[in-house]
Amino acid sequence: MLLSRLAERIECEKIHYSDTEITGIEFDSRKVQKGNIYICINGFNVDGHIYAKPAVENGAAAIIAEKVLDDVDAPQLIVENSRRAFAICAAEWYSNPADSLKVIGITGTNGKTTTSHMLKTLLEANGIKTAAIGTIGTYIGDEIYSQKLTTPDPMELQKIFALARDNECKVAVMEVSAHALELNKVDGISFYASAFTNLSQDHLDDFEIMENYENAKKKLFTDISHSAVINIDDNAAERMMADYSGQLVTYSTKDASADFFAKNIILSEEGFRCTFAAKGKEMDLDIKIPGLFNVYNLLAASALANLIGLSLDEIKNAAEKITNVDGRMEKVDVDADFHVFVDYAHSSDSLENLLVNVRKFCEGSLICVFGCGGDRDTLKRPIMGRIAGENSDFAIITSDNPRTEVPDSIIDMIEPGVKEVTENYIRITDRKAAIHKALDMAKEKDIVVIAGKGHETYQDVMGVKHHFDDREVVREYMDR
């Protein structure tokens, strides 16, 4: 690809310009190969501009930067925002594959993964091949591809879109994190529709205050998204909708005036039953995944599916085929007279939703095993402790992914929140031992909830990922 083709796609000033063949796009100077264009990203800790000269020495044929670099002897494309330029160049490199797809974006603190999974199920049950991109990986048809981030970096994201296009997918549904929006990862993508699930405290280690976090998510509801599906029961809904000028679809379990409304909701440990009301029509649903939050997720997925073209009858017939997502309110089959659920809940709001929902069908005691991740928002630790203490009969505070922190130091920050509301708790730093203790305690009709890691099959300790799967720990212990 000629440099001129990329230059045409981004607003730039050309310095020392000469057209040349570009062999790849790279933002890590250590990975630059001969003929690559190097993009200078101004990161949180490191400014990529200082590595432009080494990148050229490694073979970079040109650079994209936010300022003129006099000591770099190579063509330079000077832009206002190199992250945005990166996203646009990545799309161009793969011949703009998203243009061949109906791209659906889902943002919110909780529910993104499950809503994406539900939407994929609804569409594919009606013959619409769909790619899903998110926290637990990328799904293209029946094929699964692993990834590191909820929203991949631009080159990986566009490669996935190209793969989806080449595999004849018609729709790509993707989780869009606040970080992705703030870091311009999805710039240049025209979203067919986007959904907002909810907003609660999370990622304040990066965003510092809730206003910044909310504003990042709100970026999805601008002119880049033709239609918006909004949970109007959430406190941030009005602000999300405030400046939006496209087609608006609302959903709710409280406000009957919403476009998609759920009523007569009955929850159990096996799932939920309810009545959906939409477009002057009602339909009764019996869904085999538990939790009120999954009623909300299904409302969002149904509204999106309807925008894509499914009728309400098609949605109803497909909805009852929906199965659980790995690690999301996942029931672990055990040969016992109590129940065990594993969930990814790792924010204060998601933990509260999880425990409140389980409480609604728990006939015995509710035992909660939980922790907080290291190197992440420390302010939520005592809050999560209080929530666990208030909403369970017994809490076991343990290690999650401590990363570079000392696990007991994290627990020290959680414990005051629990102690504030109850004395019914213990600390067990070793996560396996904590799970074993909960299973030992459980009696007939009790429910054990293991929160924080969900689908993850590792525990991150000092930068090393050790194999660890909450579900495996439960099954192995119960088998013994």
Is 28 within a domain? yes
User: Does the pLDDT value for residue 86 go beyond 80?
Assistant: yes
Does residue 111 come out as left (phi exceeding 0), alpha (psi in the -120 to 50 range) or beta?
left
Structure confidence by residue, pLDDT tens digits, 455-472: 899 999 998 999 999 999
CATH code assigned at 16:
3.40.1390.10
CATH code assigned at 456:
3.90.190.20
User: Does the pLDDT value for residue 340 go beyond 80?
Assistant: yes
Claim to verify: residue 265 and residue 350 sit in the same structural domain = no
Boundary-marking domain end, from 319, 348, 373: 319
Structure confidence by residue, pLDDT tens digits, 412-458: 999 999 999 999 999 999 999 999 999 999 999 999 999 999 989 99
Claim to verify: residue 334 and residue 315 sit in the same structural domain = no
Is 89 within a domain? no
Boundary-marking domain end, from 266, 299, 319: 319
Counting the structural domains of the chain, the total is: 3
Stated pTM of the model: 0.82
Claim to verify: residue 39 and residue 182 sit in the same structural domain = no
Is 92 within a domain? no
The span from the CA of 172 to the CA of 104, in Å, is 6
Q: Given this model, what pLDDT does residue 178 score?
A: 82
Range of the domain at 128: 97-319
**Residue-wise burial string across 275-306, b where 16 or more C-beta atoms lie within 10 A, e elsewhere:** ebbbeeeebebebebbbbbbbbbbbbbbbbbb
pLDDT band at 207 (very low <50, low <70, confident <90, very high): low
Q: Given this model, what pLDDT does residue 386 score?
A: 97
Structure confidence by residue, pLDDT tens digits, 341-352: 999 988 888 899
Q: Which residue has the higher pLDDT, 366 or 178?
A: 366
Is 362 within a domain? yes
CATH code assigned at 292:
3.40.1190.10
Claim to verify: residue 117 and residue 244 sit in the same structural domain = yes
pLDDT band at 144 (very low <50, low <70, confident <90, very high): confident
Q: Collect all residues with Cβ–Cβ distance below 8 Å to 58 and sequence separation of at least 6.
A: 29, 30, 32, 33
For residue 3, the SS3 value is helix
Is 448 within a domain? yes
pLDDT mean over 40-46: 84
Claim to verify: residue 289 and residue 415 sit in the same structural domain = no
Is 283 within a domain? yes
Claim to verify: residue 35 and residue 130 sit in the same structural domain = no
Claim to verify: residue 154 and residue 182 sit in the same structural domain = yes
Claim to verify: residue 455 and residue 434 sit in the same structural domain = yes
Claim to verify: residue 137 and residue 67 sit in the same structural domain = no
- The torsion of the CA quartet 48, 155, 108, 216, rounded to 10 degrees, works out to 40
Is 48 within a domain? yes
Claim to verify: residue 159 and residue 222 sit in the same structural domain = yes
